[in-house]
Structure 1
Amino acid sequence: MSLSFLKNSKRFALACGTLVFSGCAVYAGFNYDQLYGTPTPQQRFVPPATPMAQRYLNEVKPVLENRCVVCHACYDAPCQLKMSSAEGIDRGASKEKVYEGTRLLAANTTRMFIDAQTTAQWRDKGFTPVLNERNQSPEANTQAGVMARMLQLKQAHPLPGETVLDSTQWDFSLDRDQQCPTIEEMAQYEQNYPQWGMPYGLPHIAPQEHQLLMDWLAAGAPMAGVEPPSAAIQADIQQWERFLNGNSLKAQLVSRYIYEHLFVSHLYFEKQPGQPIFFKLVRSRTAPGQPVDVIATRRPFDDPQTDRVYYRFVQVRETIVDKTHMPYALSAAKMARYEQLFFEPEYTVSTLPGYQPEVAANPMRSFSQLPANARYRFMLDNAQNTIRGFIKGPVCRGQLALNVINDRFWVFFVDPNMADIPSVNQFYDAQAKNLSMPAENESNTLPLANWIAYSKQQGRFLRAKNALLNKTFQHGEHLTTELIWDGDDHNDHAVLTVFRHFDSATVTKGLVGTPPKTAWVMDYSLLERIHYLLVAGFDVYGNFGHQLITRMYMDFLRMEGESNFLSLLPAPVRHQELANWYQDASRPLEEFLQGDINEFSQPSGIKFTTGDPKAELYQRLQARVQLVSSQRYALNNAILSPEAMRALRRLNQLQGPQATLFPELTFIMVEPSSPNADPQLFTLVRNSAHKNISSLFDEESNRLFEQDDVTLVSGLLGSYPGAFWHVTEAELPALATQANAVHTEREYQALLDRFAIRRTDPNFWAFSDTLNTLYRKNQPIDSGLLDYNRIQNR
């Protein structure tokens, strides 16, 4: 027996003894230092061609993605532990919360690949390791690493044999206290929370998966980065970087505009075969041909502190997750379209706008030299992506911003041909000051004083806008459905449906579901301002005032979109609808609604023939966009028996307090009767009704539970499932019957007993794998890993 083996055995025995006999004392850091040496970041990245790298990429990484990333991605990852990249795993965790709604000062930003480039830099920012950073040995790597200890804790203490976990012992709320233990705190954590190993509140992973991860951790967690793109894709990158980095003032301004609208998107090249490789567009200090030197600013329009900005492509190194995934296709046709919009028209760019906040935060000022119609067309061409930025977006959790929209509404757009007249461009230029945005105050804002100022400027803008509209649409001229963009008979971005799921949301192409309570009609200025309010200008790390004023400003913009829709209805109906949409509104809101926002007095140019003008308007709008309205989520896409389809339609009729009992999103997998056919996926969306949506904090008091309903769609809609159902086609009639008989929590739980895959189900991970595989197969470009932080415990 070797001397080194005896020494290791003694150290291992000492470590185990310390763990067993530590009692209530925290396993102090000096013991780890004594046992395994002092910590320092390790070199874990190995060349891609090595066997260790291939094992990581082909065996370890899929387990990490399908068991860990489903809860640990984006800003809402518990303890900021983002496991969606090798660099994120090595970065580790932080006790600081990104979502801190009461902070007085903006927090320091902690964005992966932007705010620090090395693990050592993240240590300087307060992140603590989840991998062992002391002496590298199998013993040390499994005893002095938080991740290894969390996995072992779960294996030693699997979920209790309860169908529904004890709510006094398990907290699944989004704002729950997070422990985020360091390795020095793990002994205390293990003693206090023995059942809180990883994955938290879900079944333990399979023994072979656990052993695979433990072997990998014992070996020092060797990892490999993403493989570089092919020569063909690199050629595409070079071509686009040449296009985006022209030297003329016009080229520089156009590229700045494109960047500020696409910086959150996942760009891919349309012609590449197979699964796309995605890229981000970034600002760099270095020109094409040199290594990218990312300019790290809070916002895409902040001062870059360099004489020349270059727009460069960097490969996305994180696992694609659905909640942040916004794919945007690039192609030769797209480049030609940009040429047509921005370079063929005759206009002059005489000087580049500065980066002062009052200029850069207001696109109506910073881009006033670009034709307004070109800007509008640019956003309309990919309108889903434009709106997805502020509806889905990279923020991940946004109740304060999202409780400003209804749970389901349709979005239409003003035809750009109708708006492409000199008077409109002149109007936007004249109103630039009144269209300034909250981001001009950066990330530390005093809400009350700014609210008053923005309220006054919005009033001035609406008075001027209504005066222009009253002149343009005298006697209802042109105020018909012809005003609505029809996608030029080919673009399916022309009509969208927005679903809110409490603190997340989804935007889809097409008119999904029955006609909703409200709808928006968006013109250029509204679309642009919402982007700069909620995407380009919003800082998730901002102080409470910044977040509050952003939400309050969005009230104005929502009502403006709704007012545009109401202008197509007869004048008396406009007031009736507003009264219905804003029941029990506060006095200031009532004064605002009755004043500036509704001064448009011209009659609708539509000749209504029924007693329900709103329903008739919806029918005419549906006919207007019929050629381009996407049917991706249509229920009749399902290939099931007539009896099964009738059952689905019955399930789609849940209403009132009965519907309230169901989660925001229920994902349903139906095993078809046909042999060799793939399971079919559906989503049951719960739509919550409100008296009005202008209450900042007490949303529950505005709820109209008796008006709740559901929308059942074919396919997966949303990123955060609340429940899973797994049924056979033959069981659908029984499912529909039992669901329609649910009136109490006990009856809902009985439904789950029969048809659900709960978070405690031993088959949970097998079901999860099948679901994500089917989603990726059905939607290879749009899909990403789902997030399990909202799965209910019922």
Structure 2
Amino acid sequence: MAGIRRSPLLAVCLLITPVLGGCDDAPDTAPPASPVSFNQDVRPILENKCIACHGCYDAPCQLKLETVDGLDRGASTEPVYKQRTRAADPTRLFVDARTTADWRDKGFFSVIDSTEGLEASLLYRMLALGRAREFAPGDKLPEEIQLGLKRQNQCPTPAGMDAYAEDHPLGGMPLGTPALTDEEFATVRAWLEAGAPPGNDSVTLSEAETRQIRAWENWLNRDGRRQQLVARWVYEHLFLAHLYFDDGSGQRPDHFFTLERSRTAPGKPVVPLATPRPNDPPGGEFWYRLRPVRGAIVHKTHITYALTEAKRQRMEKLFFAEPWTVSRLPGYGEDERANPFTTFGALPARARYQIMLDDAEYFVRTFIRGPVCRGQIATDVIRDRFWAVFQDPDHDLYITDADYRAKVSDLIGLPGQEGKLLDLGPEWLRYTHRRNQYLRARHDVYAEQETGGPGWDSIWNGDGDNDNALLTIFRHHDNSSVRRGLIGDYPLTTWVMDYPLFERSYYNLVVNFDVFGSVSHQAQTRLYFDLIRNGAEQNTLRYLPADTREPVLDSWYQKTGKLKLLISYAEADTDTPTAIDYQTATPMNEFNAGLLEHFTAVNARPDPINRCGDDQCARSDASDLERRVETTLAPIASRPAADLPVVDWMPEASLLLVEDGEDATVYSLLRNRAHSNVAFMFGESLRYQPEKDTLTLYPGVLLSYPNFLFRVEAGKLQAFADALAGARDEADFTALVERFGLRRTETDFWQHIHAPQRYMERHEPVQAGILDINRYGNF
């Protein structure tokens, strides 16, 4: 087979081992001289070459290798992501089973057990199979190696490994990349031969951490109905976070923590409630507890939230400074889960909204790096890049007008609680009708109370110094990312989110979403987020001149989108004026320009690279190397594919590693696909407008799932830019890849694929984590 070289001895071993009971490996895989330690010797190998695919719910065969417990649990033939007519039993590590025997009862099988001989270990056999072939360095992979989310993972049990090796000779691990080195393979083999002595993920807390845990747990577990209702709201909003105690240094903390509902009281080991959702009935007494995160940190699930004494005092003041009462604590039934606005109606609405605003990036990040993991439930309903800002609490009538709040709260509940397939149609129609009732009521009350229309003062300015006020959301086809600041050229759409939109997005995509749920539940989740997007768009339209709103809306819903405007959405307000004075015939661009002008103080990421209007195309605080990158590559940023044909061949989300001797920097290179509309669940490719696609270039790692990595020496930056600008067809793009790309077959693939992680560890250590390469392409 072209491009493949085999190790004859290993190939023979793989075939005869089941028959003869084993054979010696090549002489250069001699066992280590000293006993092998999992923590010191094996874990680094897994972190370097395995966890990049085996993390989160979408880990192939549910083999999660971030922790000792995940390795011990093993694999399953049952995928998490599939269309089900009924919800499946959850299989969450540390939650849904407590012992190895429990996991075996749930259908998981060992990948490390070698009590019947080394050949019985799936881990050994898969790694050996990977070493039985050697890809020609720099070549594309053979087409029979399927990659990406469409890959049909084969999950052989130990008894089925022989058939797998015969049917999938190129399916060894790590899949489609250089195999383990001789030393690494010998280390893993020696560990398995020794009986795979378990490692240790235990966490030793410092006195300061113990003190802060005690303070937060005491605050969350106080007596009193008001305190209990506040604690429930806080828990439901932080259950997904990697919490850390922020000392203000910006350095990575020693440990991260998760907030759990536990059967055990503070001071005892945490025993989490095994409920599918955080707002499901607890089934008895419980306490809110902080539990250390164990094992390796995977970027795609690393959603950080800082805990400080000042933040706890702020929550206390926001919730309890003003008098309010709660006569009866809400339950955990279907109605309470479906509508957080009525469930937590006794809580001060401003407190709820303000806490979400304070850390808006965290909450938006939970939408797209949370339980969904792949992101496909939400991403097909959003544009490839847009900006998001928030309505100021003092101008949000849901916050300031108690009568209006009481009138509409019943209308903004969320579907998806009923997971039966037959419920999909009726539930969707019922919630669509109620949402549109709400939107009409909202139009009316704002027209009555804001007769002059909204102005710049009605957009939250971060209270003057909070850069969570301005966000950019990127979609990378089947996953998304969010960063503070307004990045990229002016987007086609910008969202202005008020509290009802923000909270509904959170409960729809995070709290109420069940990754193990039925196809009905997941479809309802996606369909309702379509309504949320439309609501954010309609709110933004209020800031534009009344006579331009309908044409702008039509530009967002071209072709088949017009049908959706007619049958699904409430009519937009095209009568109430705006308080903003417009001077041009392109009001959406003018609105976006106004955001940059009026909120400069809280724009975390100024971007002259993608909005370069003169010769100053580099950021003012860029290093010498960064300035060279930005000045050289700015000419290709934001250019449409009609003018820059290489965009047609670019991956959705790439990383650019620029090296200058010992110095190196990383940029994200993101393709923004244009669509005639994003109003439908299926047939996305039919709505592409490829001639309008663009590239956004920005420093840092703005993604979790790189599709490709380009490596460029600083002295060849202009050659790279010229190659991008000059590529006209697939052959030119292939030549670009062969010259500057990091193909999966490169001998130094693993060294360079972790360079972005090392960059994060230097520049944003709190956020650093292992990137996922399940979507890394074969270009």
TM-score by structure 2 length? 0.91
**Is 2:208 aligned against 1:232?**
yes
Classify 1:237/1:194 alpha carbon distance in 2 versus 1 (closer, same or farther; 3 Å): same
What's the counterpart of residue 285 of structure 1? 263
Q: Do the aligned partners of 2:455 and 2:580 also contact (CA within 8 Å) in 1?
A: yes
Q: Tell me which moved more, 446-455 or 86-95.
A: 446-455
Q: Give the distance between the partners of 2:174 and 2:586, measured in 1 at CA.
A: 53
In the alignment, what sits opposite 1:342?
A: 319
1:613 CA drift (Å): 2.2
TM-aligned CA deviation for residue 573 of structure 1: 1.3
Instruction: Report what 2:53 is aligned to.
Output: 71
Aligned match of 1:13:
none
Three-state SS of the structure 1 residue aligned to 2:294 is coil
Q: What do the CA deviations read for 1:263-312 (whole angstroms, capped 9, x no partner)?
A: 11100001297532110001012221222221111111000011x33110
1:107 aligns with 88
Partner of 1:725: 710
- For 2:651, the equivalent position in structure 1 comes to 663
- Counterparts of 1:162-561 in structure 2, within 5 Å, are 163-167=139-143, 169-222=144-197, 223-271=199-247, 275-276=252-253, 277-306=255-284, 308-419=285-396, 424-441=401-418, 446-476=423-453, 479-561=454-536
C-alpha distance in structure 2 between counterparts of 1:650 and 1:422, whole Å: 45
- Offset of 1:345 from its aligned partner? 1.6
* Residues 644 and 450 of structure 1: CA distance in aligned 2, closer, same or farther (over 3 Å): closer
**1:632–1:608: structure 2 CA closer, same or farther, 3 Å change rule?**
closer
Q: 1:670-685 maps to which residues of 2 (within 5 A)?
A: 670-672=658-660, 676=662, 678-685=663-670
| Cα 1:786–1:571 shift into 2, 3 Å | same
Q: Deviations over 1:225-253 (max 9, x none)?
A: 23322222111101110011000111100
Distance 2:89 2:421 in 1: 12
* Aligned mates of 2:61, 2:566 — CA distance in 1: 44
- Distance, in Å, in 1 between the alignment partners of 2:496 and 2:562 is 26
Q: Alpha-carbon deviations, 1:750-784, whole Å to 9, x = none?
A: 00111111111111012124332222222110111
- The residue identity in structure 1 corresponding to 2:655 is F
CA distance change for structure 1 residues 526 and 425 in 2, over 3 Å: closer, same or farther? Answer: farther
Letter of the structure 1 residue corresponding to residue 121 of structure 2: G
Asked if structure 2 preserves the Cα contact closer than 8 Å seen for 1:357 and 1:442, the reply is no
Query: Does residue 639 of structure 1 match 2:624?
Result: yes
2:547·2:574 contact (CA, 8 Å) conserved in 1? no
Instruction: Say yes or no: does 1:753 pair with 2:738.
Output: yes
Q: Which residue number in structure 1 is paired with residue 613 of structure 2?
A: none
SS at match of 1:640: helix
Please list the CA deviations of residues 181-207 of structure 1 after superposition, one character each: whole Å capped at 9, or x if unmatched: 111111111222222111011111222
SS in 1 for 2:260: strand
Aligned equivalent of 1:773: 758
Give distance in 1, aligned partners of 2:400 and 2:778: 57
Question: How far apart are the structure 1 equivalents of 2:759 and 2:374?
Answer: 26
Question: 1 CA distance for matches of 2:417 and 2:671?
Answer: 37
Is 1:83 aligned with 2:83?
no
Higher alpha-carbon deviation: 740-749 or 435-444: 435-444
Write out per-residue CA displacement over residues 717-758 of structure 1, whole angstroms, 9 at most, x where no aligned residue: 101111111111110000000111112111111001111111
Partner deviation per Cα, 1:29-84 (whole Å, 9 max, x = no partner): xx99xx9xxxxxxxxxxxxxxx979x322332121111100000001111111011
Q: Give the alignment partner of residue 596 of structure 2, picking from 622, 637, 640.
A: 622
**Deviation of the 1:516 alpha carbon:** 0.2
Give the Cα–Cα distance (whole angstroms) in 2 for the partners of residues 642 and 263 of structure 1. 40
Does the CA contact (< 8 Å) of 1:638 and 1:680 recur in 2?
no
- The 8 Å contact of residues 499 and 506 in structure 1, kept in 2 or not, is answered as yes
Q: Within 5 Å, which residues of 2 pair with 1:50-65? A: 55-65=37-47
Moved more, 763-772 or 107-116: 763-772
Give identity over the alignment, percent. Answer: 38
Structure 2 residue matching 1:314: 3-state secondary structure: strand
Q: 1:714 — aligned with what?
A: 699
1:335-359 CA distance string (max 9 Å, x none): 1111111121211122110111111
CA distance in 1: counterparts of 2:13 and 2:648, whole angstroms: 51
**Letter in structure 1 aligned against 2:578:** S
1:120 aligns to what?
101
Q: Structure 1 stretch 155-164 or stretch 467-476: which is displaced more?
A: 155-164
The change in CA–CA distance for 1:718 and 1:387 in structure 2 (over 3 A counts) is: same
Contact 2:558 2:676 in 1 (8 A): yes
Report the more deviating stretch, 604-613 or 739-748.
604-613
Structure 1 residue aligned with 2:30: none
CA apart distance, 1:108: 1.5
For the 8 Å contact 2:76–2:108, the answer to whether it is kept is yes
CA contact (8 A) 2:486 2:607 kept: no
Alignment match, 1:159: 135
Superposition deviation, residue 549 in structure 1: 1.2
Counterparts of 2:115 and 2:631, CA distance in 1: 62
Q: Is the alpha carbon distance of 1:561 and 1:350 closer, same or farther for their aligned partners in structure 2, counting shifts above 3 Å?
A: same
User: Which is worse superposed, 260-269 or 443-452?
Assistant: 443-452
Distance 1:661 1:20, change over 3 A: closer
1:762 is aligned, of 744, 747, 750, to: 747
Q: Which amino acid is the alignment partner of residue 302 of structure 1?
A: D
C-alpha distance in 2, partners of 1:764/1:18?
27
How far apart in 2 are the matches of 1:498 and 1:658? 23
- Counterpart of 1:681 in structure 2: which amino acid? V
**Partners in 2 of 1:21 and 1:326 — Cα distance?**
47
The 3 A distance-change label for structure 1 pair 641 and 415 is closer
Letter in 2 for 1:85: T
8 A contact 1:669–1:725 mirrored in 2: yes
Instruction: Kindly state the Cα deviation for residue 449 of structure 1 after the two structures are TM-superposed.
Output: 1.4
Distance 1:572 1:461, change over 3 A: same
Q: Is the 8 A contact 1:159 1:204 kept in 2?
A: no
- Check conservation: 1:364, 1:428, Cα contact below 8 A: no
Counterpart CA distance in 2 for 1:472 and 1:410 is 27
Deviation string 1:432-490 (CA, Å, 9 cap, x unpaired) is 221111143257662211111111111111111111111111133xx111110000111
**Equivalent residues, number:** 742
Distance apart, 1:420 and its partner CA: 6.7
Partners of 1:754 and 1:701 lie apart in 2 by: 33
Contact 2:399 2:405 in 1 (8 A): no
Unmatched runs of 5 consecutive residues or more in structure 2: 1-10, 23-33, 610-618
Counterpart Cα distance in 2 of 1:641 and 1:568: 37
Aligned residue in 1 for 2:614? none
**1: CA distance, partners of 2:652 / 2:582:** 36
Deviations 1:380-399 (A, max 9, x none): 01000111111222321122
Partner SS, residue 671 of structure 2: strand
Between 343-352 and 516-525, report the one with greater CA deviation: 343-352
The aligned counterpart of 1:43 is none
- SS of the residue aligned with 1:697? coil
In structure 1, runs of 5+ residues without a counterpart are: 1-15, 36-50
Q: Distance in 2 between matches of 1:542 and 1:347?
A: 37
Q: TM-score, normalised by structure 1?
A: 0.90
Q: Which amino acid letter does the alignment assign opposite residue 455 of structure 1?
A: T
Provide the secondary structure at the position in 2 that maps to 1:431. Answer: helix
Note closer, same or farther for the CA distance 1:299–1:660 as it changes in structure 2 (3 Å cut): same
Q: Which SS does the other structure have where 1:440 is aligned?
A: coil
Matched ranges for 1:584-595 at <5 A: 584-586=559-561, 588-592=563-567
